[in-house]
Every structure is written in structure tokens, then in C-alpha cells.
Amino acid sequence: MKDTIISLSRKNRTNNFLKNKIQLKCKCGFSEKITYYDFLSGGKFDVGQTTQMVSTYISESIYDETIRVTPLNLSRKCPVCGEEIRAVFPISVENLIPMLQMAPPDPLMYG
């Protein structure tokens, strides 16, 4: 699972989606922004435990759908105080993988 995410994100490095940023904040006041690409391609994350939850997406035909949600957890040492900074990727694995697979091909392929 983790390897799939790393290789998909590397293949999609030019995808604008991966240029979004996550802010990491430490208790000591240190903060930094890293891109989704850095987060995913660097492999410095753990695939969390899958949980079942009722979808908040409500349509006319489906209103009680149970979905699986697997979080990606990032932890990184604060360069200032050495404490661990934890962050959760804003998109679950189940949503992320199709997003990376749907990504348009690299325009360079068409010359």
C-alpha cells in the first residue's frame, strides 16, 4: 500500500494536486510547509488503521453508505526543539489513490 502511494506520487510529480501544501506546527512555535509531493514521495509516513464510517456525502439514492477510511500519518522531528510533530494527510488513502491514477499524463509524452 505504502509503496503504491510513493510510486504513484513520483509518477505524478508534475500534477498540480501534489503542489498543495500542508502546514506542520510544533508546540514550540516552529512551523513549516511541505508539499503533498514531499509528504508522499518521501515515504516518511505511515498508513494508519482503516476505519469504517458513514459517508457524509448524501445523494438522493445513497444516504447511508458506509465507507472505509485509511488515514496517512506523518511524523517528523522538530528541528528546533526535537519534539515529534504529527500531522494527518487531509485525504484518505481511498480517495488519494484514484486521484493519482486519474491524473493526466505528463504533457512531455506528447512532445
Q: Which of 1, 53, 54, 80 binds Zn ion (CB under 5 A)?
A: 80
- Binding span for Zn ion by CB under 5 A among 11-19, 24-32, 42-50, 60-68: 24-32
Beta pairing partners, 75: 86
> What is residue 93's three-state secondary structure?
helix
CB distance 84 to 77 below 8 Å: yes
Question: Per CB under 5 A, does 93 bind Zn ion?
Answer: no
Question: Per CB under 5 A, does 88 bind Zn ion?
Answer: no
The residues, any chain, with a CB within 8 Å of residue 17's CB and separated by 6 or more, are 36, 99, 100, 103
Residue whose CB is less far from Zn ion, 85 or 100: 85
Binding to Zn ion in span 60-79, by CB under 5 A: 78
Residue owning grid cell 509516513: 45
Smallest distance from Zn ion to CB 81, Å: 3
Per this entry, what is the length of the chain? 111
Task: Give contact residues for Zn ion (rule: CB under 5 A).
Answer: 26, 28, 30, 78, 80-81, 83
